[in-house]
Amino acid sequence: MPTKTADNRAPLRRTALAALAFAALAAASPCASAQGIAVFVNGDPITNFDIEQRSKLIEISTRKAPPRKAVVDELIDERLKLQLLKRYKIDDIEKDVDNAYANMARRMRATPQQFTEQLARSGLKTDTLKARIRAELIWGQIVRGRYQASFQLNDRDILARVENKNQEESQAVAFDYTLRPILFIVPRGSPQAVIDARRRDAEALRARFQGCQAGIQIARSMRDVAVRPPVTRSSADLQPAVREMLDKTEVGRLTAPEVTLQGVEIHALCDKKAASGDNALVKREAREQIMKERFDAKSQQFLKELRSQAMIEYR
């Protein structure tokens, strides 16, 4: 298989990162024999520590404890993905991993060092997170390279998908949202009780907030609260979950509080206007949906093939 260029990797990194909205962990850890080996995958161990780390982060992300079998299966698949580096040459993979890690930190409004410290305070290892990123980057590149012809789309593919939508969906328009981020500052290292108190403060403001003009003034009068300059976001550039949240928020009201590295953040929706243009959003969503469906299908096909060839030994 030919080595991918940096340009070819760009969309693959975006796909891998989208799947990492909360960054699941995995990777063989040191002193495996002392931690207790649960499974060997082609000779590579998965320890009980690995399973505990992955389970912990999934529970933090989803607020629901995952079944152990599901976690083990996920880790087995991940080992198989990482082992592909022995068969395929991928240039600059470590550079891509570091860049992806930095991008994750940036989305949390933190530097990589600050993000590392945040993970450590949660009892999570940076090395295992980077191993998860590495596995997804490797997997995305190899699946797309192996089944390259399946990912060639033309206008007919997209238009056919759009035509299959109902009339309401096909006539959907994009919106431009004007937002005012409001941050309830929480000092780094504060106990959970402080974060919970600031969340209650944010909810109290949310109940009082009846419009941006008066509401912003109230927020500015509060202690340790920063009101940021207005920003405009297009629905075409937002993830579906974010679009849905904004669509459910009335103009002049606040979104639900979200905990970040700086504190508790909410957004005032100050304006919402239909964006100019045609059904670009519908076409974009159709393209993304087709690509995801094809990637998922080929991914499952290749993963099934790898599992059938692998030596998996449960201890």
CATH number of the structural domain spanning residue 105: 1.10.4030.10
Q: Nearest-5° angle of CA 63, CA 65, CA 66?
A: 120
Specify whether 135 is located in the same domain as 199.
Answer: no
Specify whether 24 is located in the same domain as 85.
Answer: yes
Which 8-state DSSP code applies to residue 276?
S
Closest CA to 75 of 145, 11, 128, 18: 128
Specify whether 23 is located in the same domain as 100.
Answer: yes
Quick one: pLDDT at residue 206?
Answer: 93
Task: Specify if 164 maps to a domain.
Answer: no
Q: How many domains is the chain built from?
A: 2
Specify whether 303 is located in the same domain as 270.
Answer: no
Question: 267 and 255 in contact (C-beta within 8 Å)?
Answer: yes
Task: Specify if 282 maps to a domain.
Answer: no
- Start-to-end CA span in the chain (Å): 35
Specify whether 134 is located in the same domain as 188.
Answer: no
Question: 264 and 257 in contact (C-beta within 8 Å)?
Answer: yes
Task: Specify if 157 maps to a domain.
Answer: no
The CATH code of the domain that includes 188 is: 3.10.50.40
DSSP codes joined into one string, 45-77? EEEHHHHHHHHHHHHHHHSSPPPHHHHHHHHHH
Specify whether 204 is located in the same domain as 133.
Answer: no
Question: Residue 22 carries which side chain, given as an amino acid letter?
Answer: F
Task: Specify if 294 maps to a domain.
Answer: yes
Task: Specify if 204 maps to a domain.
Answer: yes
Specify whether 51 is located in the same domain as 115.
Answer: yes
Specify whether 200 is located in the same domain as 233.
Answer: yes
Specify whether 180 is located in the same domain as 136.
Answer: no
Query: Along the 315 residues of the chain, how does pLDDT read in single tens digits?
Result: 444 433 444 444 443 433 343 333 333 344 444 469 999 999 999 999 999 888 877 776 777 889 999 999 999 999 999 999 888 888 888 999 999 999 888 888 888 898 888 888 877 888 878 888 999 999 999 999 999 988 888 888 887 877 776 444 445 567 889 999 999 999 988 888 999 999 999 999 999 999 999 999 999 999 999 999 999 988 877 878 888 889 889 999 999 999 888 899 999 999 998 765 556 667 777 888 899 999 999 999 999 999 999 999 999
- Tokens describing residue 314: 């449960």
Quick one: pLDDT at residue 260?
Answer: 85
Task: Specify if 166 maps to a domain.
Answer: no
Quick one: pLDDT at residue 35?
Answer: 64
Task: Specify if 198 maps to a domain.
Answer: yes
Quick one: pLDDT at residue 302?
Answer: 96
Full residue range of the structural domain in which residue 15 is found: 6-151+290-314
Quick one: pLDDT at residue 76?
Answer: 95
Quick one: pLDDT at residue 287?
Answer: 86
Specify whether 88 is located in the same domain as 126.
Answer: yes
Specify whether 122 is located in the same domain as 98.
Answer: yes
Specify whether 143 is located in the same domain as 40.
Answer: yes
Task: Specify if 284 maps to a domain.
Answer: no
